[in-house]
Amino acid sequence: MKLDPARHVVVPAISGADLLASVPAVSGIASIDVREHSNIPSSCMDPPRWSALSAAVSAALEPPEVRGVVVTHGTDTLEETAWWLDLTVESERPVVLTGAQRSASEPDLDGPRNLLDAVRVAIAPDSRNQGTLVVMNGRIHAAREVRKLDTASVEGFGSGAYGMLGAVDARRVFYRRAPARRAHVAIRTAAMPRVDIVTIYGGADGALVRAAVGQGAAGIVVQALGAGNVNPPMLAAIIEALAQGVAVVITTRVTNGAVAPHYGYEGGGATLLAAGAVLGNDLSAQKARILLMLLLQDGRVSAPELQAAFDQ
């Protein structure tokens, strides 16, 4: 993004070649093949674009001399794209996503440093078999765990209770742990099934769950309270959705922690599980949506199959 002087707002304006030219130090550590896949705000990312990006990344990894792939990406949906690629790109070599919290028009822009760090991580031998990674502000995060936590700060991404995988600076790339929970789901269809996210809040009546079913959703992710709890009206709407063959996955709006069948009151996690809903473990609602979408298009539609995948 750069500042449009006429409108005084930032807009997409820089190509991949422009980005690389802003970081001349990259040429001293790696040979880069720039591929201009798209130039859009990351708020415009969607399943067709994710699938196309998966194909592009997989193709870029085919030559044996390629050490890794760096994807520059807007920060709004960066964590979703990273998770999609982690699930759909099968390679020992790393895929590294990076972006910028500040536009290229700001004097203290963070994009060039993040890009240089991402290249360092992509070519590091220890990055093999780490899956898709997010590199921001010198931190290395696993795709499954990373979240955007701040709208503007350069320290805008974190991995919650798990913490970062490692770090990168001008001297070295080092890892303190490896992502233990990884899975692969092949893309088998051009048109992904519709999966919606519905959030619970005080006084929610289930109308949005019914609306999602009415719009043809094959799956619904409910961003529930606490350890995965809803009120009785939402429970009733979820039971209706399940009866119509719609897969329902329960997540939490709480930043850290997993959902679990602790509570047995009407709408508690135990009653949702007994009704046939799937517990989304510790995935955020947006990442649970991506996993559910990919599982459904892969033919995994029963609650036991889905629960096994979310437990992995």
Please count the other Cβ atoms lying within 10 Å of the Cβ belonging to residue 117: 25
Per-residue 3-state assignment (H helix, E strand, C coil) for 111-127: HHHHHHHHHHHHHCHHH
CATH of segment(s) 195-311 = 3.40.50.40
CATH 3.40.50.1170 domain position(s) in the chain: 2-175
pLDDT at 107: 86
List pLDDT tens digits, range 45-99: 999 999 999 999 999 999 999 999 999 999 999 999 999 999 999 999 999 999 9
Supply the DSSP symbol for 261: S
Q: What is the pLDDT along the chain (312 residues), one digit of tens a residue?
A: 788 888 888 888 788 888 888 899 999 999 999 999 999 999 999 999 999 999 999 999 999 999 999 999 999 999 999 999 999 999 999 999 999 999 888 888 999 999 999 999 999 999 999 999 999 999 999 999 999 999 999 999 999 988 999 999 999 999 999 998 899 999 999 999 999 999 999 999 999 999 999 999 999 999 999 999 999 999 999 999 999 999 999 999 999 999 999 999 999 999 999 999 999 999 999 999 999 999 999 999 999 999 999 999
Q: Name the token pair of 169.
A: 């600076």
Secondary structure percentages of the chain, helix, strand, coil, to 5: 35, 15, 50
How far apart, in Å, are the Cα atoms of 90 and each of 71, 112, 143, 291?
Answer: 16, 28, 14, 15
The pTM is what?
0.95
Q: Per CATH, which fold does 2-175 belong to?
A: Rossmann fold (3.40.50)
In whole angstroms, give the CA distance from residue 12 to residue 152: 17
CATH 3.40.50.40 domain position(s) in the chain: 195-311
